[in-house]
Amino acid sequence: MAETFQDIAVPSRADCLSLMEQYDMLPNIREHSLVVTAVALELGSALQETGIPLHLPLIEAGALLHDIGKTACLGTSRNHADWGAQIVDSVGYPEVAELVREHIVVSDGGDPTVIQEAEIVNYADKRVLHTQVVTLAVRFADLEERYAKSREARRHLAALAEKARRLEAKLFSHLDFTPYDLLHLNYDNHA
């Protein structure tokens, strides 16, 4: 990231929760977003402890707001990531908006050895099925069952799954725990 962390406007957790309410986020989407946030913060904190410079408040806000546009887009052909990014940008958080925009498909730009906050939010979302932390295999099996209605859709999901596996390898190459170890969050969040 070119700018310093001080140059980035980030809403507080309370502000994010208020935006969820203001934009009528459905309760199940809100719960999903809270679990995605737990995964993202677990990963971000662990990666930060290895010396990787990450902006944890940016990760938190991006994870909390990643589906801010989803409720309004249900039943439409509108892209909820783009719509959500527009919402977040319009309220003054352009860097958070980029994380929202990239939560489905993260851009490939930049140095492949550098870990970006958008990658953490993107990966965290890929690990949460509804409100449960699951493996990539389980998450993509569900996505395929729900959305792979055409050959093009199946190809697109296969490419996303491969990209998620590469991202998982990249993130966990820096950590002393495995992707499977994130499943503990299912018990920690419901205890």
Kindly state the percentage of the chain with pLDDT values over 70: 95
Average pLDDT over residues 116-131: 97
At 97, is the pLDDT very low, low, confident or very high (cuts 50, 70, 90)?
very high
- Spacing of C-alpha 135 from chain mean position: 15
The fold for domain 10-188 equals Hypothetical protein af1432 (1.10.3210)
3-class secondary structure, 8: coil
> What tens digit of pLDDT does each residue of 19-76 get?
999 999 999 999 999 999 999 999 999 999 999 999 999 999 999 999 999 999 999 9
At 181, is the pLDDT very low, low, confident or very high (cuts 50, 70, 90)?
very high
